[in-house]
Structure 1
């Protein structure tokens, strides 16, 4: 169907980063009657939206909506302020993107980071903790053609969490959650930092590891040795989270009765992602990035685990190896392929020996 967005209403909303995730969420906002502006760094995408609107293909339906879309360079031309700015850029783009958008953020507005990684503190460093809402996002989508998104989870299978960094602002988060519910299930959480850590645990197990062997997430998990490596990466990540002061907690809609044993928790939440949020052809965002010739969030996820455990005098050999192989791929010295399972299996010393044989 083709739906024209309704006239502007309060609050005034912007999405900075309208790739697959950002576009599909922002389109739902527009369809719900919210005043939403798309801002993106892909010129062809912006022009396609201006010409034909944004199209989102769900598993059983498609929507198209006309929305205003701006190039990054046009942010300086924006008149007035945005009350809510949803940041949906890669984790490594957080700081510069927040600086870009700060001048058009209302004094009592919020930046909401719908991102992987622990980006909330980077946002807060630019706009202040009182104007930052941390968020967790769990949906699967992809975009290969400008102006057209394929979202693999409809609203009932999409999950978000929100929480203010400044406790004095927590009472305002429910209002933001109500808006976000136009695109999926939303929980408001007091301890958003722990919730973001729990999501990073899942991401450490899934994103880069499955991308390294160039396969869909579910297919990677069906390879017994690969599943063992992915779980081991998650186990290191949960111990990094605990060392960093996070609390084990249910996310992505799981029940509070789930295990508090760290490694059992990883097994349960990993299984839930595969069961509920992943399709047979779901490629992680990291593999999509590599296939587009872009960097993936290597340092911001698996590298974060390595750095946190190192700061506590502990090693993370599985995540460290994942980072090493991923950086080899991004440097062009290797490529994603199933044979990389052997690289993940090997320690650096073993690999060096093999390369000189």
Structure 2
């Protein structure tokens, strides 16, 4: 299959490499010039569970795609949420009537962006529990195991979604075809909607957030706002189960000492965040439905103010 990885950072490198190893024709697309240059010169160098692998795959900047005479069967979207629209605007020449897209981004509402570029029956949504890291331009560190859960958003897309499930599993990505991926997406969004924004504003790791007596009320209130808005999209979240799931991350012997991705983006790397696609998405959806979401509203505003103070780009 001809597959483009739209966002060939850490996770995109994992998917690209594993699918390349299975014999698929992979095109990497990324915005980091040094990353592009390194892969063009040396290939993608990956430490895959302790085995050093070098894979030669073509890689382009998004703005270079229009100059190619190329179309693909599948695009795997792994950009930052706030880069998705611009990425697909640049790579439209890859898309034909039969091109499908699977979106594996964190956050909510990405199908609305993708519907500008591909038919709804060609859109798949999913979440991934794989991990990945970059040790530098063109160098990926890929350890551990994970899985992918995916589903078509329109009934007409089921056959292709099941085909992608098989292709991913054959490549070792452990895909599962879901009949309710939106529940999993909203549940994961609750984790991001509590830990990411709060740790970013408080400039702390997950364990430090969990250790504060006031954290439980903040987290439960944010989860409640997510749950009441999710219900308008026919997604039922068990708020107690979600809170307990979030609370397991506080353990310093687990991921508690980790700084969430939004903290890394803004505090460490001075980059704009994905807040508009997490808490901000709940705020927007709540406005449409006449549902008050004061904690999500305020947290979104605080993160944007922090971006402005730090001059994030």
Corresponding position of 1:79: 69
Output the TM-score relative to the length of structure 2: 0.87
Q: CA deviation at 1:71?
A: 1.8
The correspondence of residues 102-251 of structure 1 with structure 2, limited to 5 A, is 102-117=92-107, 118-143=109-134, 145-151=136-142, 154-155=144-145, 158-181=146-169, 182-248=171-237
Q: CA deviation at 1:211?
A: 2.2
Corresponding position of 2:245: 269
SS at match of 1:168: helix
How many residues matched? 307
Verify the 8 A CA contact 1:56 1:148 in the aligned structure 2: yes
CA RMSD of aligned residues (A): 2.6
Verify the 8 A CA contact 2:63 2:90 in the aligned structure 1: no
Corresponding position of 2:264: 288
Distance in 1 (alpha carbons) for counterparts of 2:7 and 2:209: 29
Does residue 40 (structure 1) correspond to residue 30 (structure 2)? The answer is yes
Note the alpha carbon deviations across 1:27-76, whole angstroms, 9 max, x for none: 22222332211111111110011122223346655543222111222202
Distance 1:32 1:227, change over 3 A: farther
SS at match of 1:149: strand
Q: CA deviation at 1:264?
A: 1.0
Distance in 1 (alpha carbons) for counterparts of 2:245 and 2:173: 19
Distance in 2 (alpha carbons) for counterparts of 1:293 and 1:183: 35
Does residue 51 (structure 1) correspond to residue 41 (structure 2)? The answer is yes
Corresponding position of 1:27: 17
Note the alpha carbon deviations across 1:175-223, whole angstroms, 9 max, x for none: 1112223353322123333332222222212222222222333443344
Distance in 1 (alpha carbons) for counterparts of 2:249 and 2:52: 24
Verify the 8 A CA contact 1:137 1:159 in the aligned structure 2: yes
Distance in 2 (alpha carbons) for counterparts of 1:280 and 1:26: 29
Verify the 8 A CA contact 1:102 1:127 in the aligned structure 2: no
Verify the 8 A CA contact 1:56 1:63 in the aligned structure 2: yes
Distance in 2 (alpha carbons) for counterparts of 1:91 and 1:62: 30
Verify the 8 A CA contact 1:328 1:334 in the aligned structure 2: no
Where structure 1 has 5 or more consecutive residues not aligned to the other structure, the ranges are 1-10, 249-261, 336-357
Distance in 2 (alpha carbons) for counterparts of 1:308 and 1:154: 36
Distance in 2 (alpha carbons) for counterparts of 1:216 and 1:228: 18
1:100 to 90, 110, 120: 90
Note the alpha carbon deviations across 1:89-127, whole angstroms, 9 max, x for none: 111222222232232124222111111122022112321
Verify the 8 A CA contact 1:205 1:232 in the aligned structure 2: no
Does residue 331 (structure 1) correspond to residue 303 (structure 2)? The answer is no
Output the TM-score relative to the length of structure 1: 0.77
Distance in 2 (alpha carbons) for counterparts of 1:303 and 1:171: 33
Corresponding position of 1:314: 291
SS at match of 1:125: coil
2:60 to 70, 74, 82: 70
Distance in 1 (alpha carbons) for counterparts of 2:298 and 2:50: 40
Distance in 2 (alpha carbons) for counterparts of 1:55 and 1:218: 33
Verify the 8 A CA contact 1:235 1:266 in the aligned structure 2: no
Distance in 2 (alpha carbons) for counterparts of 1:76 and 1:263: 46
